[in-house]
Amino acid sequence: MITNELIERINFLAKKKKEVGLTPEEEQEQKEVRRQYIDGIKDQLRPMLAELKKGKTDDSVYHQAGCDCGRCKH
């Protein structure tokens, strides 16, 4: 899960790395928090992608009443 604390820690470590460098422990922590962030993004995207694979999209966003795409049932 992506929390504000996680993002703040990622930003803190990135800034510190740029300014003064990181200890080996901090470098390892930076890798871990970045991985947590990436995994959190993937967890958010998986359900959306699964719905797209099933074809369950809200076509009304793209198709207006009276369109002649052949897919709409207006």
Name the class of domain 4-61.
mainly alpha
User: How much is the pLDDT for 73?
Assistant: 59
pLDDT at 12: 98
Contacts for 27 with CB less than 8 Å, ≥ 6 apart: 17
Higher pLDDT, 7 or 67: 7
Indicate the domain borders of the chain: 4-61
Asked whether the predicted pLDDT for residue 69 surpasses 80, the reply is no
Position 63 scores a pLDDT of 60
Q: What is the pLDDT of residues 25-62, one digit of tens each?
A: 999 999 999 999 999 999 999 988 888 777 755 555 55
Residue 25: predicted pLDDT: 98
